[in-house]
Structure 1
């Protein structure tokens, strides 16, 4: 039985990574796919832990070789998911989570329509701007660029299966985890997972 593919997207500053990390700590059976990026690491980021940091030339070579499951140009830098990070694990029955933007999510859904997608919203525009500034990692120009891009990113929320507002962090963690748990309990998957049990329960004897 193939694993579930979960997609989580959000505008920069909505708290996506913090939510994902909190949920994965409670759901260790879900594998987080580590994306590749052509941008440099921010303070505190580590190679192969937060991203696979490679040069733009290396990224474009991987595109040419067909190595990416999805990729997009985001804020002038490439971001993408390698095929080897996703397809073998799904085939082995492992659930995989992609933390990607709406462009990548659209590519993934075209290949795997049954993927479960979640979009995270901030509670307000002022809250979003405040969160961007609190990171203390970007210049004013970068913050302005990201804040402007957030409107475009949020305009694609209708493309996702679930919409989650990250106002109360603990509540948002509960809601995201609930989505993942409920997805595993869908009738078709449960029939495969409990085939022998169901056969025994429905047998004439």
Structure 2
């Protein structure tokens, strides 16, 4: 990632996201879309290309196989951004339940149709509305993807797992994009080495006392 893009990256904490979602949940489609984006880290184009058949409620997974774009007022379903973008993302139970609730309220929906028949413009409009109403700092829709990545980093998941979940072409992309979110890792290494050394010395002393 270029430095200018890394500098412009912003993300929300879970607390900030919850404040935001409370401000837009008056529209069910907004609530569902933003929750999927935040809790899965998929791209907005991937979200807007989803059909009901992409969800596996039994295994709690979401299959990413296509990408949505709008060109000259025409809806297009395209191949994913990169080959690695085709992936299966695990999702929590509450997202499965939320999607089922959303689908139950759709009228004459066919499983092969786009589940969220809206646009990236709508998502950005709703993002602006929610930020203004909730008072949380304004970020881009794409920054929800960064928010998910930062959450996984905070939870201690490996860069390899995060790379696979986000559909990055290689792990270097993940490391280059989010390396600045690991500010205290070096000190953690030295601290753990210190504790390990102290523990080994203590064990040696205990062993010597036996003789």
TM-score (norm 1): 0.30
Q: Which has the higher strand share?
A: 1
TM-score (norm 2): 0.29
Q: Which has the higher helix share?
A: 2
- Greater RCO, 1 or 2 (C-alpha within 8 Å, sep 6+): 1
